[in-house]
A and B are shown apart, each in its own frame.
Chain A
Amino acid sequence: MSDAFLSATVRIPGHEGAEIEAYSAVAQDDQPRGGVVVIHHLPGYDEATKEIVRRFGHMGYNAVMPNLYWHDAPGAAPDDAAAAGRAKGGIPDERLVGDVAGAAQYLRSLPNSNSKVGVIGYCSGGRQSVLAACSLPLDAAVDCYGAFVTGDPSSIEGHPLRHISPLYDKLPNLNCPLLGLFGADDKHPSPEEVAELEQLLTKYGKSFEFHSYAGAGHAFFMVERPAFRPEAAKDGWERIKSFFGKHLSA
Chain B
Amino acid sequence: MCTYITAKVETEGSGKGAEGWFPLTETTVYFDHPVHASADHTLNIDFRNPERGAGARVAVELTAETARALAQAILETLDAVPEGVA
Q: How far is the CB of A94 from chain B (nearest CB, A)?
A: 17
| Cross-chain contact B33 with A164 (CB below 8 angstroms) | no
Expressed in whole angstroms, the Cα–Cα distance for A161 and B4 within the complex equals 7
Rounded to whole angstroms, the CA-CA distance of A37 and B20 in the bound complex is: 38
A138 to nearest B CB, angstroms?
22
Is there an interface contact between A42 and B2, defined as CB atoms closer than 8 Å? Answer: yes
B12, chain A: closest CB distance, angstroms: 17
Would A219 and B33 count as touching, CB distance under 8 A? yes
Partner of B34, one of A43, A159, A187: A43
Judge whether B32 and A43 touch: CB under 8 Å. yes
* Contact present for A186 and B1 (CB under 8 Å): yes
Contact code string A107-121 (vs B, CB < 8 Å = 1, else 0): 000000000000000
Mark out the residues of chain A between 60 and 76 whose CB falls within 8 Å of any chain B CB in the assembled complex.
Answer: 72-73, 76
Size bracket, chain A contacts: 35 or more
A76 vs B80: C-alpha distance in the bound complex, in angstroms?
A: 40
A219 B28 Cβ-Cβ under 8 A = no
Q: Which residue of B lies closest to A153 (CB)?
A: B4
Structural contact, B57 and A147, CB atoms closer than 8 A: no
Bound complex: CA A46 to CA B16 (Å) = 24
With A and B bound together, what is the CA distance between A130 and B2 in angstroms? 16
Complex interface: chain B residues within 8 A of A79 (CB): 35, 59
Q: How far is the CB of B55 from chain A (nearest CB, A)?
A: 5
- Minimum C-beta distance from B9 to chain A (A): 11
Report the bound CA distance from A131 to B2 in whole Å. Answer: 16
Q: Which of A83, A188, A226 has the most CB of B within 10 A?
A: A83
Q: Are B39 and A226 in contact (CB under 8 A)?
A: yes
Interface members, chain A 216-250 (any B CB < 8 Å): 218-219, 224-227
Contact with A along B20-59 (1 / 0, CB 8 A): 0000001010101111001110000010101001110101
Question: Closest 9 A-B residue pairs measured CB to CB?
Answer: A73-B54, A76-B54, A42-B2, A188-B1, A124-B2, A80-B54, A84-B54, A83-B46, A147-B1
If A41-B33, A77-B55, A187-B1 are given as contacts, then 7 extra A-B residue pairs at C-beta distance below 8 Å, sorted by A number, are A42-B4, A79-B35, A84-B54, A123-B33, A145-B1, A189-B1, A224-B38
